[in-house]
C-alpha cells in the first residue's frame, strides 16, 4: 500500500460490527460486560486485578492470550475442547473485557508480558503452552524475549507477523504496506482527536445509509461524539504504539521450543502475504498451517479444527 493512499489501515481493520464489539471490549462503548462469576483474579505487582477463566485439568496447562479489542470469551469454544485434556487459562488483558484498567497505568506490550509472567507465578504454572492471537501473539513473543523459555512447553501463534509495520526490506507487516510512520501517524491522530478517528473508521466501513446517520447533525452522530468524547484512551494508544514498534524477527530463529503457527488465508491483515513461507524458513521446526476459509481469527471461525490441531500438536511434541 502506497503511504500516500487514501485506503488507510484503520478503514481495513474491521467493519462496523467488529469495531463496535472492539470498542465495547475495550470499555470505550457502554460500561463493558457485567460481572462474570466464572472468573478468578490475580493481582499484578502494580495492584491491577486481572481476571482469568480457568477450565479443565491436565498437563501441560494451556494459556490463551487474546487479541486487541477481544476478551477471554473469544477463546471459549476452543478452551472447552482443550479442557478435556488440559488445564486451560484464558485472561482478559488490561483494558479488555472484564479488566477495567487502573488510572495512570500505561498499558504496553512489555507490561502484558510482565502480567503473563506474574500469572504463571500466581497459578504456579511451571511449564505451560502459550497460545496467542494477533496482539496476544506479540505478547507471547515479548514474554519469551523478556523471560526466556524455561517455563514454556510450546508456543502457538495465530495470524500474526513478528513485525506488524513494513519498510523497503520487510513487506510482511499489515496489509503488506503499512509503514511505521503511517501507523504511528494514525496513533498520533487518535491522541489528538480520538472521536474523529473512530468516526472516520465507521464512515469508511459503512454504506451511505449509516454514513448519513453518523453525520455531526444526526442523532446517532451526536450521541457517539458525546459518548466517545468522555473516554480516556491514552493507555490503549500506548499499547498500540508499543505494538507498532515491536520487532521479534531476531527472536524467532533462536526458539528452542515447539512452535505452531496458524494463519488465515482471508485475513484482513495478512491476506496474500507469504507469512507461511517466512515462518517455515525462520523456524525450520515450526508446524505451519493456513486455513483457506479463515480470516484474521481462525480459532473463532473454525474452533473445532483449531482445537484438534493444537491438541495433536501438543501430544506430538510433548
pLDDT at 149: 97
Report the alpha-carbon distance of residue 269 to residue 164 in Å, rounded: 9
CA atoms within 13 A on the CB side of 260: 24
Residue 34 CA neighbour count, 13 Å, CB half: 1
Q: So what's the pLDDT on residue 191? A: 82
Q: With a cut of 50, which residues of the chain have pLDDT below it?
A: 1-17, 25, 29-33
- 37-49: pLDDT as tens digits: 789 999 999 999 9
Order of strands across the sheet with 39-43? 39-43, 49-55, 88-91, 62-65, 128-133, 152-158, 259-264, 287-291
Class of domain 33-163+246-318: alpha beta
Task: For residue range 234-291, list pLDDT tens digits in order.
Answer: 778 899 999 999 999 999 999 999 999 999 999 989 999 999 999 999 999 999 999 9
Q: What cell does 213 get? A: 446517520
- 3-state SS string over the chain? CCCCCCCCHHHHHCCHHHHHHHHHHCCCCCCCCCCCCCEEEEECCCCCEEEEEEECCCCCCEEEECCCCCCHHHHHHHHHHHCCCCCEEEECCCCCCCCCCCCCCCCCHHHHHHHHHHHHHHCCCCCEEEEEECHHHHHHHHHHHHHCCCCEEEEEEECCCCCCCEECCECCCHHHCCEHHHHHHHHHHHHHCHHHHHHHHHHHHCCHHHHHHCCCCCHHHHHHHHHHCCCCCHHHHHHHHHHHHCCCCCCHHHCCCCEEEEEECCCCCCCCCCHHHHHHHHCCCCEEEEECCCCCCHHHHCHHHHHHHHHHHHHHHC
Q: Nine-digit cell at 128?
A: 505451560
* Cα–Cα distance, 27 to 9 (Å, whole number): 22
For the chain, give every domain's residue range.
1-31+168-245, 33-163+246-318
Cell output for 253 = 530463529
The predicted structure's pLDDT at residue 21: 52
- The model's pTM: 0.84
pLDDT of residue 218: 76
Amino acid at each position: 500500500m502506497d503511504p500516500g493512499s487514501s485506503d488507510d489501515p484503520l478503514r481495513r481493520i474491521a467493519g462496523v460490527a467488529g469495531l463496535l464489539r472492539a470498542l465495547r471490549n475495550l470499555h470505550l462503548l457502554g460500561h463493558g460486560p457485567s460481572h462474570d462469576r466464572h472468573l478468578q483474579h490475580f493481582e499484578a505487582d502494580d495492584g491491577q486485578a486481572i481476571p482469568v477463566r480457568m477450565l479443565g485439568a491436565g498437563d501441560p496447562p494451556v494459556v490463551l492470550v487474546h487479541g486487541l479489542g477481544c476478551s477471554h470469551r473469544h477463546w471459549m469454544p476452543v478452551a472447552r475442547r482443550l479442557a478435556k485434556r488440559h488445564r486451560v487459562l484464558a485472561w482478559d488483558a488490561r483494558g479488555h473485557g472484564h479488566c477495567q484498567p487502573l488510572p495512570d497505568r500505561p498499558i504496553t506490550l512489555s507490561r502484558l508480558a510482565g502480567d503473563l509472567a506474574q500469572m504463571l507465578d500466581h497459578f504456579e504454572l511451571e511449564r505451560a503452552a502459550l497460545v496467542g492471537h494477533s496482539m496476544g501473539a506479540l505478547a507471547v513473543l515479548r514474554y519469551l524475549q523478556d523471560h526466556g523459555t524455561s517455563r514454556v512447553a510450546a508456543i502457538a501463534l495465530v495470524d500474526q507477523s513478528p513485525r506488524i509495520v513494513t519498510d523497503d526490506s520487510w513487506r510482511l507487516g499489515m496489509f503488506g504496506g503499512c509503514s511505521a510512520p503511517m501507523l504511528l501517524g494514525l496513533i498520533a491522530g487518535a491522541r489528538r482527536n480520538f472521536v474523529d478517528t473512530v468516526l472516520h473508521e465507521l464512515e469508511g466501513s459503512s454504506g451511505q445509509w449509516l454514513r448519513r446517520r453518523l453525520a455531526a447533525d444526526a442523532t446517532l452522530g451526536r450521541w457517539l461524539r458525546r459518548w466517545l468524547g468522555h473516554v480516556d484512551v491514552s493507555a490503549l494508544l500506548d499499547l498500540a504504539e508499543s505494538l507498532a514498534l515491536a520487532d521479534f524477527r531476531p527472536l524467532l530463529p533462536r526458539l528452542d521450543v515447539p512452535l505452531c503457527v496458524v494463519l488465515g488465508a482471508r485475513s484482513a491483515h495478512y491476506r496474500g502475504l507469504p507469512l507461511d513461507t517466512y515462518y517455515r524458513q525462520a523456524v525450520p521446526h515450526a508446524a505451519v498451517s493456513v486455513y483457506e476459509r479463515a480470516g484474521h481469527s481462525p480459532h473463532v471461525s473454525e474452533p473445532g479444527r483449531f482445537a484438534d490441531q493444537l491438541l495433536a500438536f501438543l501430544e506430538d511434541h510433548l
